[in-house]
């Protein structure tokens, strides 16, 4: 049982390049989330999904797109990377809402030059 | 909407001394409250949570937090810290209803001084 995994662990992009971050969970969770973590700002929600085929915007969605084609995977895309997107990205999953614990992946450190 | 305030961004504490990490929240509805811990170069993991019932909740590694509804606080305490407690601690809140999301505070970095 691997929990929540993220690919890749590190990435360096040039401004304007695109990339996709992959999140996978093997706990059959319905809810999945993408956050970014920046110094002094805590975790900010980018997008989330409440089930296969659904997505919704969080508090900082601009510049990102997501897809949840399979229940176990949640993809985060950057179409045209900007230096302001340099951050550590965390994926999380949760069985359902309410009292269920949210489980986090190990993070992806992205640098945009 | 909910919000969480962690006023202390960094807290240095001597080993074996007590510590309190402060968390205040704002919400127009009833909430669930959580503390998450992030060890260096790792993701976040749940430390403890308040859902209902006793206002004092405990973790397996000696931390405890008390829900105070009148003061809208959920402070985290430990009577004697260890080097291994060095981490960043995040308070989070979720509404009881329509609670698809957690709202996190900005975190408190706890540094243990030997």
Q: Give residue A73's pLDDT.
A: 97
A40–B99 C-beta distance less than 8 A? no
Q: Give residue A39's pLDDT.
A: 87
Partner residue opposite A42 with nearest CB, options B42, B45, B105: B105
- How far does CA A92 lie from the centroid of its chain? 7
Residue B107 · residue B8 · CB < 8 Å: no
Across B7-81, where does the E strand assignment appear? 10-14, 19-21, 24-26, 31-38, 44-50, 56-58, 64-68, 73-78
Q: Give residue A96's pLDDT.
A: 81
pLDDT tens digit sequence for B80-109: 999 999 999 999 998 877 767 889 999 999
Q: Give residue B53's pLDDT.
A: 84
Q: Give residue B2's pLDDT.
A: 86
Smallest CA–CA distance from A30 into chain B, residue = B100
Share of chain A above pLDDT 70, in %: 98
Higher pLDDT, B15 or B99: B15
Residue B33 · residue B93 · CB < 8 Å: yes
Partner residue opposite B9 with nearest CB, options A40, A58, A102: A40
Q: Which residues of B touch A56 (CB under 8 A)?
A: 100
Please provide residue A8's backbone torsions phi and psi, each rounded to the nearest 5 degrees: -85, 180
**Distance of residue A106 Cα from the nearest chain B Cα, in angstroms:** 4
Q: Give residue A84's pLDDT.
A: 96
Q: Give residue B51's pLDDT.
A: 87
B49–A107 C-beta distance less than 8 A? no
pLDDT tens digit sequence for B23-55: 999 998 888 999 999 998 889 999 999 988 888
pLDDT tens digit sequence for A23-61: 999 999 999 999 999 988 889 999 999 999 999 999 999
Q: Which residues of A touch B96 (CB under 8 A)?
A: 98
A4–B102 C-beta distance less than 8 A? no
Model confidence band, residue A101 (pLDDT cutoffs 50, 70, 90): confident
With 90 as the cut, is the pLDDT of residue A98 above it? Answer: no
Partner residue opposite A99 with nearest CB, options B42, B51, B106: B51
Q: Give residue A88's pLDDT.
A: 96
- As a whole number of angstroms, the distance between CA B89 and CA A78 comes to 29
A33–B43 C-beta distance less than 8 A? no
Other residues' Cβ atoms within 10 Å of the Cβ of residue B17? 13
Q: Give residue B96's pLDDT.
A: 78
With 90 as the cut, is the pLDDT of residue A20 above it? Answer: yes
């Amino acid at each position: 049982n691997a929990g929540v995994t993220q690919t890749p662990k590190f990435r360096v992009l040039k401004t304007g390049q695109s990339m996709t971050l992959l999140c996978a969970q093997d706990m059959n969770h319905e809810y999945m989330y993408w956050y970014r973590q920046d110094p002094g700002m805590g975790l900010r929600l980018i997008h989330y999904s409440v089930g296969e085929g659904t997505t919704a915007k969080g508090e900082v969605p601009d510049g990102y797109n997501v897809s949840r084609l399979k229940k176990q995977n949640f993809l985060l895309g950057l179409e045209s990377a900007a230096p302001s997107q340099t951050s550590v990205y965390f994926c999380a999953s949760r069985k359902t809402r309410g009292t269920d614990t949210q489980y986090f992946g190990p993070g992806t450190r992205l640098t945009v030059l | 909407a909910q919000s969480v305030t962690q006023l202390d961004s960094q807290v240095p504490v001597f080993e074996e001394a007590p510590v309190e990490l402060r968390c205040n929240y704002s919400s127009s509805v009833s909430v669930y409250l959580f503390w998450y811990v992030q060890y260096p170069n790792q993701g976040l993991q749940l430390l403890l949570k308040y859902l209902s019932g006793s206002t004092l909740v405990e973790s397996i590694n000696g931390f405890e937090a008390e829900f105070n509804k009148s003061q809208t606080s959920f402070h985290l305490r430990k009577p004697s810290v260890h080097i291994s407690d060095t981490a960043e601690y995040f308070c989070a809140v979720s509404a009881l209803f329509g609670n698809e999301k957690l709202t996190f505070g900005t975190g408190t970095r706890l540094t243990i001084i030997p």
